[in-house]
Amino acid sequence: MAAPSLLNWRRVSSFTGPVPRARHGHRAVAIRELMIIFGGGNEGIADELHVYNTVTNQWFLPAVRGDIPPGCAAHGFVCDGTRILVFGGMVEYGRYSNELYELQASRWLWKKVKPHPPSSGLPPCPRLGHSFSLYGNKCYLFGGLANESEDSNNNVPRYLNDFYELELQHGSGVVGWSIPVTKGIVPSPRESHTAVIYCKKDSGSPKMYVFGGMCGARLDDLWQLDLETMSWSKPETKGTVPLPRSLHTASVIGNKMYIFGGWVPHKGENIETSPHDCEWRCTSSFSYLNLDTAEWTTLVSDSQEDKKNSRPRPRAGHCAVAIGTRLYFWSGRDGYKKALNSQVCCKDLWYLDTEKPPAPSQVQLIKATTNSFHVKWDEVPTVEGYLLQLNTDLPHQTASSDSSLAPNLQGVRMDPHRPGSNSTVPNSISDTTNSAKTEHTPMKGTSVKNRPDLKASTDFNAALHPSMATNTSNHNSCVVDMLRKNEGPHTSANIGVLSSCLDLRTVIPETSVSSSVSSAQTMLMIHVPCLQLRSAVWKHRPQRCHFLKRLLQIQWPQ
């Protein structure tokens, strides 16, 4: 993980489709590249199911059918393959639910399910703010907030610390509830906490980690439940524990539990003497707990200011979802205006890459003829760009004479955040060193300046800002920047006739762009890890075959 100062958040500013209204108390899960959001409230409780495609940057409302559940907030929401389960939550002010719904996302079909009650004891009471965690074929329900009053307008809160197990049937349906017998001291009653489940690779039993929550005052305690022995414990941790909080999010990526946002006690408040902390504020602090070593690491401190709006502003009741090693955050409330008695909700979508992507595979030659060749490499998840350099092997005298005849370069940039729109990107003309490498360039629409020092920018973090110098050499080259696939690779575009090099033709979805250049080096941006060069017109044909033999190698910058 990058050092805190090197974190680079990205706000998604360009997208299409019906954007959900801002809210808090919603929940989100991931199915492959889809982020699925349900529920939440802001001027009424939302009952729509919204889906965001993280590859195409598109929001859409699926046509759901079946036993469509009422809108709810602060509910349980888990995903098992393409099946989603929703349990409980607030359906209207003061009225909570204990109903269970199943969504088959492959068909967008809702179904109300009725699990069998426990063999001894009562089923879970209506509640909100509980945790609902999935591991294997079982869901684990812990805590929450119940209303002791039968009058929904007269809310009498009761904090819960009961624990239930829900067994699922394979594919669809549920078996029933059970109340496991646990050992050790049970965590205190709470709501708006988080619970995640983690199992060490190749060893150990799965463990559920409960952090924070609310019980009159915000909490900062960490609890561990061994799901094999059903033993509760309070692990000793190292590092700086995050401030007490509720309505935060916890997400597991690898062996780390990432904690973001939430309500925390107000600055200067004496937590020890304030059992009921009426003064609170939202936070944008960001920490993780290494679940193998039990050590906390602060990535963004609670006191760290953000004057440049370079990361999500403070919020609570937001949603977070991990897609691969990328963490997405959407909406939430950022404060409370007492004078207006209203919430202020965010509507922004952010993501953060928590790990450096792996190096791309070596480029493979798929097909080569006397006037064309076709190369490809394996796609890397979460990578949005590749920088590919092709080098021709020409004599020094020829390279010098060709480059001296090259006019000023004009090029075209395609921004995948804005389908169908183009903005100018200068290409570069230069003789380069005889090296072939690729550099990860996650920023969509990377700009390359027309100057000898050719640099590729990235949105991963400052440590991954590689530069590629273009020095005088015996070889001409052609540089290609490949952007992540957003649609199918079906449309070709002529990106320019290189009078001293070759004619580049490649696959660009739903885009046709051309520009006349006369150079041994050009920048081309496409969405797939695949490149076809056709109708190569070489000024010096004897070197053509030698060039293909020396084809490409990809190297990750150290």
Taking only the tens place, the pLDDT of each residue in 233-283 is 999 999 999 999 999 999 999 999 999 999 999 864 444 444 444 578 999
Q: Is the confidence at residue 106, as pLDDT, over 60?
A: yes
| pLDDT per residue as tens digits for the range 422-439 | 333 222 222 222 333 333
Is residue 140 classed as helix, strand or coil in its secondary structure?
strand
Lowest mean pLDDT among 44-53, 204-213, 306-315, 358-367: 358-367
Q: Is 135:75 a contact under the CB 8 Å cutoff?
A: no
Is residue 157 classed as helix, strand or coil in its secondary structure?
strand
**DSSP designation for 463:** G
Beta strand pairing call for 249-253 and 58-60: unpaired
Cα separation of the two ends of the chain: 15
Q: Is the confidence at residue 183, as pLDDT, over 60?
A: yes
Mean pLDDT of 124-149: 97
Higher pLDDT, 96 or 437: 96
CA 71 from centre of chain: 25
Residue 396, phi then psi, degrees to nearest 5: -60, -40
Lowest mean pLDDT among 100-109, 121-130, 393-402: 393-402
Q: What share of the chain is helix, strand, coil (3-state, %, to 5)?
A: 5, 40, 55
Vertex 84: Cα angle to 148 and 382 (nearest 5): 125
Determine the Cα–Cα distance for residues 493 and 422; give it in Å rounded to an integer.
Answer: 13
Residue 218: C-alpha distances to residues 61, 157, 191, 265 (Å): 36, 16, 10, 7
Pick the CATH number of 359-390+494-553 from 2.60.40, 1.20.272, 1.10.10, 2.102.10: 2.60.40
- Largest interatomic CA distance in the chain: 91
Q: What is the pLDDT of residue 6?
A: 61
Determine the Cα–Cα distance for residues 360 and 378; give it in Å rounded to an integer.
Answer: 7
Structure tokens at 134: 């999935």
CA 494 from centre of chain: 33
| pLDDT per residue as tens digits for the range 489-512 | 322 223 232 223 333 333 333 332
Secondary element (H or E) of residue 99: strand 95-104
Q: What is the pLDDT of residue 338?
A: 53
Does the domain formed by 8-268+278-353 have CATH 3.30.9.10?
no
Q: Is the confidence at residue 390, as pLDDT, over 50?
A: yes
Q: What is the pLDDT of residue 440?
A: 33
Q: pLDDT tier at 529 (50, 70, 90 boundaries)?
A: low
Mean pLDDT of 295-307: 91
Q: What is the pTM of this model?
A: 0.72
Q: Is 445:474 a contact under the CB 8 Å cutoff?
A: no
Q: Is 161:186 a contact under the CB 8 Å cutoff?
A: yes
| pLDDT per residue as tens digits for the range 7-57 | 889 999 999 999 999 999 999 999 999 999 999 998 899 999 999 999 999
Determine the Cα–Cα distance for residues 414 and 515; give it in Å rounded to an integer.
Answer: 12
Q: pLDDT tier at 386 (50, 70, 90 boundaries)?
A: low
Q: What is the pLDDT of residue 302?
A: 87
Tell me the sheet residues that pair with 498.
517
Determine the Cα–Cα distance for residues 246 and 235; give it in Å rounded to an integer.
Answer: 20
Break the chain into its structural domains and give their ranges.
8-268+278-353, 359-390+494-553
Q: Is 466:439 a contact under the CB 8 Å cutoff?
A: yes
Mean pLDDT of 178-200: 97
Residue 397, phi then psi, degrees to nearest 5: -65, -40
281, 228, 289: which is closest to 254 by C-alpha?
289
Determine the Cα–Cα distance for residues 116 and 123; give it in Å rounded to an integer.
Answer: 9
| pLDDT per residue as tens digits for the range 323-380 | 999 999 999 998 765 555 566 899 999 999 998 877 777 777 787 777 676 777 777 7
